[in-house]
Each structure stands twice: as structure tokens, then as C-alpha cells.
Structure 1
Amino acid sequence: MIGGIMRADASRNLAAVLRTGARLLAEDPSTSISAIASEAGVDRTTVHRRFATREALLSAVFQAKLDSAERVLDEARLTEAPVAVALHRYVEGIIPVSREWPVDTRRMMRDHPGTRHRREEQSQRLNAFVQRAADEGYLQPGVPLAWVRAVLDHLVDSIAHQFPEVDPPQAADLVVDTLLRGVGKP
């Protein structure tokens, strides 16, 4: 039983370090591992044992963000559920991911090539979903799909970070309504 407790503590410590690292590194990419450890409430050597460098920690944060986003994409059922339902599920799920893992995805793709492929696969899933929405008549003809996708991404980012008091279901209502009425069929 003591081994189980130790593993549970180690798992909680790792989660705390990753979440704290995500938040602090999003605020200041030069944040030290010592500062992250202190803020997470763990010993610096605990973090250094797991992550030799800040870049290794940042890479783990990026992987955690991608893992969370992957779960959201799967649970939204973008290819099976009705478009409006799938869109709402996706937005409601991705807002907490964006809030929990606020690190810059562009930096992730630029500085961590190992994560680029996974992020591009996720992006392609969303692009295919936007194409499906257009094919099923949810979007105005002639609106570039890249524009729709950019608007969706910016709406999610805006509500996640500029309006943190809005809970995910209500935020999803706002984003879906704005997207479908803004670029949706009149």
C-alpha cells in the first residue's frame, strides 16, 4: 500500500508541476524550473529528476495539452454527431483545455518539432469538420473555410482567456451562436 501511496503522490506532483509549468511558462517563457517547483509546492530536485531542462518540462506540457485536446476531439464525435452538437461538444471541451494549458501552440509547433505532427493531425480533424459543416449547409457558400477555422480558433481563445468567468457550457453556447450566425447561413 505504501508503494501505491508513493505512486499516487508522484502522479499528483507531476500533474501539479505540469499545470503550474504551463501557466508560468505561458506568462514568462524564461521562468526557471526552481520557480515552477516552488509554485507547484514540490522540491526543485523532484522536478529536476523528471525534467533535466526547462525545455524538457515545456515539451511535457505540450504533450499534456495535445493529449487533452485529442480526448476532446474524440469525445466531440466530429464525424458522427450532428454538426451543431459536435461543434458544441468540441468548444465546451476545448475551452477548459485552453485554460488549463495556456501555452502558445504556435511556439509548440515552431520550437518543438516532435509535437508538430500531432498538432497538425488535430488541426486536420478540425479542418475536415469545418468542411463537413460547409457540405451540410451550415456555412454560407463562398466563405473561405480557412477563415471559418481561424474565426473558430480565435473565438475559443478569446472566451477561454479574456472571459475566464464564463463557464464552459455557456462559453460554448456563445461561440457556437457567434460562429454559426456570423458565418452561418442566414
Structure 2
Amino acid sequence: MSKTAGRPLRADAERSVRAILEAAERVLAEHPGASMEQIAEAAGVTRTTVHRRFANRQALVDALAAEAASKLSEAIEDGHPDTAPPLVALHRATANVLRVKAAWGFALGPGAAQSERAARTHEEIAHRCTELLGRLQAEGVIAPDAELEWVRRVFYALIGEALHGENATGRDLAAGPDALATRIVDTLLHGAGPRTS
């Protein structure tokens, strides 16, 4: 739950914050230099309401980064990385991450600044990802001598390229997150070499 000055927000204030953050994502994705007033207008609230919730533009951007990181963490957990069969968990988590990253392109984009809270969440996500890759390694899906931190970085790079690469707006994205997740996981685990079976 969002908090202001350490206190939980009321339901109407929570809705207001959510509307502001969602509007900020939309507006900043199109115009990264947009003002608080433009964000307020897109959210359907007054500039005073935005300033009541966020002291300044940086506070708003920091909250946006933290919210997006939280959504990303939820997407990974929704893949059940501890309990689902590891390949199933990897595919689900990848498809979920693609959905979240597509919806929160500004806050999770390559050039987005991270708040301290968002940075901590991203560290936790990296740890969870490495744990899941460790499960795959234990099952023999990933080579026993593969360095899992490197594998994680390659995995992240594949997701980033799928969403932000030169051809990211082509047929791969049009096929949907599940099909793209299959392609990413297949590339991660098998590379571009010929299949032996």
C-alpha cells in the first residue's frame, strides 16, 4: 500500500495516487520532459492534488520507478518460481515480465532512473531470477559449469532486445508475450546453433 509520511493512504487517496502514476507512465513514455501539470491533466486531477501526493517531479518519478519495479516483482512471483516446474516457471515469468515491461515502458526502460526503493526491488528480482536459473541448472537444463550471473544477464539482454531492439515493433511483439517468451527461453537455453534432437 502507498504511504505518505509513513501513514497508509485512504482508499480514495490510493486511487488518486494510482491514477497519477498510471498517467505519469503514459505521458512520460511519450514526452520524458513532461511537466507535473501535464501529468495532472492526463490523470484528471488538479496540479495541487499531484503536489499533495508528490513533493516534486523527482519524487513522482521515484514513486513511478518503485511502482513499476513492484509490478515486475509481482509478475515474476506469479510465475511460481519456487514451486512450478522450472521450465514452466521460466516461461510464465518471462511472459509476465514482457507484459509488465510493455505496460511500464518508461519506468522500466533502458534509460529510466531508479529510486533507492526501486533499486532494492530490482536487486531482489535479480536474486529470484538467479535462484530459478539454479533450479534449471540442478535439473540439467543449464550446463553445470555455466555461470548463473552471466546467464541471468543474457536473459535480461534477450528481454531488452525483444522489447527495445531495432526490430522490436515487428512480428515478434505482434505475436504476443507468450510466443515471444517461448522464443526468448528457447534462445537462452539453446542459442542459435542447430538442435541435436
In structure 2, the CA distance between the partners of 1:183 and 1:122, relative to structure 1 (3 Å rule), is farther
Q: Does 1:65 align with 2:74?
A: no
- Number of residue pairs the alignment of both structures matches: 178
The C-alpha deviation readout for 1:93-120, integer Å capped at 9, x for no partner, is 11111112222477544xx223322221
Q: How does 1:73-112 map to 2 (within 5 A)?
A: 73-102=76-105, 103=107, 104=109, 107-109=112-114, 112=115
Give the unaligned 5+ runs of structure 2.
1-10
In structure 2, the CA distance between the partners of 1:106 and 1:121, relative to structure 1 (3 Å rule), is farther
Q: How does 1:105-144 map to 2 (within 5 A)?
A: 107-109=112-114, 112-144=115-147
Q: Equivalent residue of 1:42, what SS?
A: coil
Q: Equivalent residue of 2:189, what SS?
A: helix
Deviation at 1:12, TM superposition (A): 5.0
Corresponding residue of 1:152: 155
Q: Does the 8 Å CA contact 1:17/1:40 hold for their aligned counterparts?
A: yes
Corresponding residue of 1:4: none
Q: Does the 8 Å CA contact 1:61/1:101 hold for their aligned counterparts?
A: no
TM-score (norm 1): 0.79
The Cα RMSD (Å) is 2.8
Q: Does the 8 Å CA contact 1:70/1:122 hold for their aligned counterparts?
A: yes
TM-score (norm 2): 0.75
| Alpha-carbon distance in 2 for matches of 1:73, 1:158 | 19
| Alpha-carbon distance in 2 for matches of 1:74, 1:148 | 19
Deviation at 1:27, TM superposition (A): 5.5
| Alpha-carbon distance in 2 for matches of 1:39, 1:122 | 31
| Alpha-carbon distance in 2 for matches of 1:66, 1:105 | 13
Give the unaligned 5+ runs of structure 1.
1-6
82-91 or 135-144, which deviates more = 135-144
Q: Does the 8 Å CA contact 2:99/2:177 hold for their aligned counterparts?
A: yes
| Alpha-carbon distance in 2 for matches of 1:82, 1:70 | 19
In structure 2, the CA distance between the partners of 1:156 and 1:117, relative to structure 1 (3 Å rule), is same
| Alpha-carbon distance in 1 for matches of 2:74, 2:99 | 12
Using CA pairs below 8 Å that are at least 6 residues apart, which structure has the higher relative contact order?
Answer: 1
Q: Does 1:56 align with 2:59?
A: yes
| Alpha-carbon distance in 2 for matches of 1:125, 1:106 | 23
Corresponding residue of 1:167: 176
| Alpha-carbon distance in 1 for matches of 2:139, 2:192 | 14
Q: Does the 8 Å CA contact 2:91/2:185 hold for their aligned counterparts?
A: yes
| Alpha-carbon distance in 2 for matches of 1:47, 1:114 | 20
Q: Does the 8 Å CA contact 2:40/2:46 hold for their aligned counterparts?
A: yes
Q: Does the 8 Å CA contact 2:76/2:93 hold for their aligned counterparts?
A: yes
In structure 2, the CA distance between the partners of 1:19 and 1:45, relative to structure 1 (3 Å rule), is same
Higher helix share: 1
